[in-house]
Amino acid sequence: MQSDLWLEEKYKNFIGYRYKINKTLFSGKSEFQSVDVVETEGLGKMLLNDGLVMVTEKDEFVYHDMITHVPMFTHPHPENVLIIGGGDGGTAREVLRHKSVKKCVMVEIDKMVVDACKEHIPQTSKDLNHPKLELIIDDGLEYVKNTTLKFDVILIDSTDPIGPAAPLFNSAFYQNVKKCLTSNGIVVSQGESVFFESHMQQVLLGILGEHFSKVSIYNYSNLTYPGGLWSFTYASDTLDPIKNFNEARVTSSNLKFNYYNEQIHRAAFALPSFMKAKVQHLLKN
């Protein structure tokens, strides 16, 4: 009889989340991080980077809906989209569902993540060969510094601000992101845990405030990220995520979502009081 195998995500050295796993599908070490894909008992397949849960088949839709559709339905006609990170493919999959999109460039630093997900997690990686997608294996920092292209929407689909994603949480990076945005472009970034990373959220919102005239943060709750309640930051010079949100575009898109809808779009920007106390002074609208 097979013995019980459990995996634990240790977060911040003081909290652990345990999952029963049936088997390990991939385990590797790239030059950037460790990459594991396991089959869990209750949540389907799971991707971990440096032991931190990135994706499970059971709840990835929450994150990928919210990083993508909030900006994509705020912008009136997003044609060119840039994704930094996002090697599992879930964000690209959602972007490519929008008919207005002509081209999506995705810049992922770690080929091992892409290859492991292509082989083992088709649920997120299924569109990584889409004709409108240009997948570049490179450092996103260098890409935004060097490219001359402009994008309507930029999505920073990063891991936690340790390891390869750490430099994505700084001002020089966002100065270059801004350079790559059209004048009414939007940047949305993985904004970390509401309970455990309020300092990081303050840092990120402060940086966005240096470069953009509209800055907000919105929440989602999922099953597997520590503490459950996590967020995305939103920044633009012209488009307000509530005032410029045209609900009719959601209906007319005919797209069906498992998490996102018009009410969730608005509600996600309502912040709990303990969070407001920490970040409200950094928001701009």
Footprint of ligand AG3 on this chain (CB under 6 A)?
A: 9, 11, 52-55, 63, 86, 88, 90-91, 157, 159-160, 190, 225-226
Q: How far is the CB of 226 from ligand AG3 (least distance, A)?
A: 5
Our CB check for ligand AG3 shows the closer of 110 and 160 to be 160
4 flagged as catalytic:
no
Instruction: Label each residue of 109-155 as H, E or C.
Output: CCHHHHHHHHHHCHHHHCCCCCCCEEEEECCHHHHHHHCCCCEEEEE
The residue type of 59 is D
Q: How far is the CB of 52 from ligand AG3 (least distance, A)?
A: 4
Q: How far is the CB of 267 from ligand AG3 (least distance, A)?
A: 21
Q: How far apart are CA 241 and CA 239, in angstroms?
A: 6
Q: Evaluate whether 105 touches 137 at the Cβ level (below 8 Å).
A: no
Which of 138, 157, 237, 240 is flagged as catalytic?
Answer: 157
Residue in the structure block whose two tokens are 């967020």:
231
CA neighbor of 180 nearest in space, from 158, 149, 209? 149
Our CB check for ligand AG3 shows the closer of 193 and 236 to be 193
State both tokens at 20.
């029963």
Residue in the structure block whose two tokens are 């390891």:
163
Q: Which residue lies nearest ligand AG3, judged by its C-beta?
A: 52
Q: How far is the CB of 244 from ligand AG3 (least distance, A)?
A: 26
Q: 258: Cβ–Cβ under 8 A, 6 or more apart, which residues?
A: 61, 62, 65
State both tokens at 266.
């608005």
Our CB check for ligand AG3 shows the closer of 127 and 157 to be 157
Our CB check for ligand AG3 shows the closer of 225 and 260 to be 225
Residues marked as catalytic: 157
